[in-house]
Chain A
Amino acid sequence: MSDANHNQNPVSGGTSNARPSEGRPMGRGPMGGGPMGGMHMGENAKDFKGTMKKLIDYLKPFLFSIFIVITLAIGSSVFSIAGPKILGKATTKIFEGLVGKVSGIPGAGVDFSYIENIILLLIGLYVVSALFSFTQGYIISGVAQKVSFNLRRDISEKINRLPLKYFDTKTHGEVLSRVTNDIDTVSQTLNQSMSQIITSVITIIGVLVMMFSISWLMTVAAILILPISMVLTAFVIKNSQKYFKQQQAFLGQVNGHVEEIFGGHLIMKAFNGEKRAVEAFDGLNDKLYRSAWKSQFLSGMMMPIMIFIGNLGFVLVSILGGWLAIKKTIEVGDILSFIQYVRQFTQPIAQVAQISNIIQSTAAAAERVFEFLEEDEEVSDTANPVSPQGIIGEVLFKNVHFGYRQDKIVVNNLNAVIKKQLNPLMPICLLRHCLMAMTWF
């Protein structure tokens, strides 16, 4: 093939350089970036604990940054959680003013200076919260990128320490895909999971506290919805994951077939194998289609189900809230705040449900990287190397045995002396059956 890349587009150049099919999801899989953005479901790591430990070792130099991130996450979540509650006060004030006016109390009306203060306070709170959450994201992406930088550097140094036989059994594509695809996955998921775990957990706790402070009865009602929501999402995730795995497997097979047929197209043509290739392809493609639409449909169900449950919560909360407001147990503004809390509540729960998947794919990608970093290395140089001074260029082979692999010895018990030639251009000729081995001397 004359010019392997002359038709490649720069946009997809990154992935196309690595071998496109290795039975693994390519790029970000068909789900990334969708409404369920970050639905990373892939293969699991074989040794989850061990891999995580190693990954944490890489995170250790950034312990201080991570500590700051946690503090900021707490700050930003607390501020944004406090918002609705304070906002509720403003709404109540408006309502009270209105009620006062309607009842004809002289001088009554909406207390604008009070509302103005609250709004100014809230603007301050929201700005600080945004600032915190940006700083948090800023630091975390720094950590994630530097960890990937270190991983990549370690891989490049490892390449130079591996015995040559390693490269006889592995294609360049496999090594390349570790340098790019796997480390990319690690850095992306690291970024996501670190910030999401912290914020989600804090948000859930904080929102719960706030909800209870408004009305325990309404909170209980809202929480009663939770088990339904959890069971449903667990059911959807479980099923869609099954089809997703199938889809990835069939995708790998389809891509493998494509690679094989395109790579061997001369043979396929010469032996009239077109029909057979197309038939095999159609079979695989159909299987892929069946699992693909099911996987997409099920993952697409998440949103409507979550929205429905959210709506269910709204209905319950509104009815209860109205009743409690009539009984004067709570204020009108509180209903507004509470509805906002319920809305904030369902989101982190869905996120927590997905975090385990994100961590799984981080581990799976990280494991491949660590596997590479832990390959047996070439025997290091001798501890006390002889000084090369005084060497005149003589090579002596003494009972040399050599094979590319342990079970395949190519050179057996070779004895030879190669003297420094008077005429440096005169080549050394070895027997023809050693021709193949010559490059190795």
Chain B
Amino acid sequence: MLLIALLSMAATVIVSFLGARVAAGLSKKLRENVFRKVVSFSSTEFEKFSTASLITRSTNDIQQIQMMMVMLLRIVFYAPILGVGGIIKVLNSDYSMGWIIVIAVGAILILVIVLFGVAIPKFKMIQKLVDQLNLVTREILSGIMVIRAFNTQKHEEKKFEKANWDLTKTNLFVTRTMSLMMPLMMLIMNAITLLIIWVGARQIDQGAMQVGNMMAFIQYAMQIIMSFLMISMVSIMLPRATVSAERIGEVLDAEISVKDLPNPQHFFSTQKGLIEFRDVSFRYPGAEEDVLSGISFSAQPGQTTAFIGSTGSGKTTLINLIPRFYDITGGQILINGIDIKKVSQHDLREKIGYVPQKAILFSGTIESNLVYGVESTTETELTKAAATAQAIDFIRSKEEGFAANISQGGANVSGGQKQRLSIGRALVKKPEIYIFDDSFSALDFKTEAALRKALREEKTDSTVLIVAQRISTIMNADQIIVLDEGKIVGKGKHHELMENCEVYQQIALSQLSREELA
């Protein structure tokens, strides 16, 4: 008996060991595949899924599956063996009492089905109510200034109270329904024991059974009931993991829209940074209309090309086409005479120093953020780039200097500082092409002017593309392209456009006086 008990434990430990490794290994592999896949996504896919949803899918959903795997390996393979083993034993030992087991299993199954039948719709409702409560809280948080200004705290509290009460009510119903389960389960098990004794007593009296057999029968019955209990509990959890698996499958199966050719060409080194747009048009996937159409221009090395236009005119979209965040739907974009679709994304992006609208930093140090795009750099070059980006003063003011910590998302530096580091990061790379996507708006006028001056002195032979809101930022550009509703409505220098481009005049006059513009 002792030996059997010991063997049984050893076997279970081995199962548990293998199960843990398989479950953890599977989720590791899954996490890795999903991450690699998402890293290769273009902006189109990011917008299709939404960043928040992709994050949930690669964290929460995989965790769900890992949990399910552990349970499956531990219980689902174990319980049926236990149950079937028990049933075989029971059938072998005594046929005439098998019906008790059938009743027991039936009773347990009916109980589980009825309880979960009542509770599961409510479970789903709880998720919705939690969302509702989140929504109300989010509204209060994002509208907090308006709430204070208009003194509507009481109204908001009432709204919250309602969502809170709805959730509490449903939660109460579910937990109370579930609190029926254990007592009823115990009652069934106890009742089955009594039934076995009652029936067993008669059989013993007739000499058809021994007392020891009856005791063994009780043990087997309990074992069978327990295993059915476990299986039914797990099967309830299965749907949730299935949903997670589906969501992960969607990510893994997603078609990537921006792809490299099998045999990409390479750039020639004769020309540096010449950009040509030839009748380019673009529409977002699934959209009805083009956001950009008939765009043709060229941007020369050593010159600054600026883009201006009202909100929604397509400025940002246009420059996002150059690093192939999206692929154009018509026409051609050439860099140094080669179609950008024909070279690898890696080679293409090596040439570009990109500064986004909203500065993004990664956790690490100031230095690790500045050198993000390059293999190695010298300290003098780092300092120079930081100086050009007007970041050197605040870096020096920090105790650790370039080694100062940057927390996740750059939360520990101000918006302006973030933007300057983001500009510095592009400068350290010394690219052939600079893209500034409205990158100066987070800076005050004085810093912006100093920055523009430093940039002019710095990057003499690079191609510079600037998207701007402020006329003052781009007045001195070599070429200004005015966009309106996805089309080029003006091209030229400031004074030319002031004479012949109505859209440009309107933008200019809304910002500066005639004297300033002259």
Contacts and interface: CB of A to CB of B under 8 A. Distances in A.
Contacts of B363: 256, 260
Interface string B220-241: 0000000000100000010010
A180 to B, nearest CB: 6
B9 A304 contact: yes
Given A16-B52, A262-B46, A265-B38, 13 more contacts: A7-B48, A26-B59, A87-B197, A98-B204, A98-B211, A110-B201, A122-B190, A123-B194, A159-B141, A262-B55, A266-B356, A270-B325, A277-B39
Specify the main secondary structure of chain A where it touches its partner.
helix
A116 B131 CA distance: 55
Interface string B15-37: 01101110111011001100110
A119 B195 CA distance: 9
- 3 nearest A-B pairs in the assembled complex, by CB-CB distance: A137-B179, A304-B12, A300-B16
B425 interface: yes
B380 to A, nearest CB: 21
B449 interface: no
A109 interface: yes
Interface in B37-84: 38-43, 46-56, 58-61, 63-64, 66-67, 70-71, 74-75
Interface centre among B9, B144, B215 (most CB of A within 10 A): B9
Interface centre among A83, A131, A272, A285 (most CB of B within 10 A): A272
B164 A152 contact: yes
Interface in A65-98: 76, 80, 83, 87, 90-91, 94-95, 97-98
Interface stretch (B96-104, B145-153, B262-270, B498-506): B145-153
A146 interface: yes
Nearest to A175: B141
A175 B198 CA distance: 60
A210 interface: no
Interface string A244-273: 000000010011101111111111111111
Interface of B: 1-2, 5-6, 8-9, 12-13, 16-17, 19-21, 23-25, 27-28, 31-32, 35-36, 38-43, 46-56, 58-61, 63-64, 66-67, 70-71, 74-75, 124, 126-128, 130-131, 133-134, 137-138, 140-142, 144-145, 147-148, 153, 156-157, 160-161, 164-165, 168, 171-172, 175-176, 179-180, 182-184, 186-187, 190-191, 193-194, 197-198, 200-202, 204-205, 207, 211, 214-215, 218, 230, 237, 240, 243-244, 247, 323, 325, 345-346, 349-350, 352, 354, 356, 360-363, 372-373, 408-409, 425, 429, 444-445
15 contacts: A8-B50, A15-B60, A35-B74, A141-B179, A156-B160, A262-B46, A262-B54, A262-B58, A263-B51, A269-B345, A292-B20, A296-B19, A305-B9, A332-B211, A432-B445
A267 B130 contact: no
B182 A94 contact: no
Contact of B21 (A7, A267, A293): A293
B349 A156 contact: no
Specify the main secondary structure of chain B where it touches its partner.
helix
Contacts of B126: 14
A369 to B, nearest CB: 14
B59 A98 contact: no
A278 B37 CA distance: 10
Contact of B372 (A97, A123, A273, A312): A273
A309 to B, nearest CB: 9
A278 B191 contact: no
Contacts of B179: 134, 137-138, 140-141
A13 B247 CA distance: 12
Contacts of A91: 197, 211, 214-215
Given A7-B53, A27-B60, A137-B179, A160 B157 contact: yes
Given A97-B205, A153-B161, A311-B8, A12 B211 contact: no
Contacts of A8: 50, 52-53, 56
Nearest to B369: A267
Nearest to A305: B9
Nearest to A126: B190
B28 A33 contact: no
A288 interface: yes
A17 interface: yes
A183 to B, nearest CB: 10
B39 A261 contact: yes
B211 A266 contact: no
A205 interface: no
A303 B205 CA distance: 39
A307 B61 CA distance: 33
Interface of A: 1-18, 20-21, 26-27, 30-35, 76, 80, 83, 87, 90-91, 94-95, 97-98, 101, 109-110, 112, 115-116, 119, 122-123, 126-127, 129-131, 133-134, 137-138, 140-142, 144-146, 148-149, 152-153, 156-157, 159-160, 164, 167, 172, 175-176, 179-180, 187, 191, 251, 254-256, 258-274, 277-278, 281-282, 285-286, 288-289, 292-294, 296-297, 300-301, 303-305, 307-308, 311-312, 314-315, 318, 332, 336, 432-433
A249 to B, nearest CB: 15
A100 B442 CA distance: 99
B1 A278 contact: no
Given A34-B70, A307-B8, A10 B124 contact: yes
Contact of A10 (B42, B55, B128, B409): B128
A16 B237 CA distance: 19
Contacts of A115: 197-198, 201
Contacts of B349: 269-272
A13 B21 CA distance: 30
B35 A278 contact: yes
Contacts of A315: 1-2, 5
Contact of B408 (A7, A32, A256): A256
B182 A137 contact: yes
B209 to A, nearest CB: 10
Interface centre among A4, A126, A294 (most CB of B within 10 A): A126
A16 to B, nearest CB: 4
Given A156-B160, A265-B41, A332-B211, A123 B56 contact: no
Contacts of A32: 67
Given A20-B59, A98-B204, A164-B145, A269 B323 contact: yes
Contact of A262 (B1, B51, B352): B51
Contacts of B218: 336
B429 A258 contact: no
A119 B35 contact: no
Contacts of B156: 156, 160
Contacts of B247: 9, 12
Given A1-B50, A110-B204, A138-B179, A14 B131 contact: yes
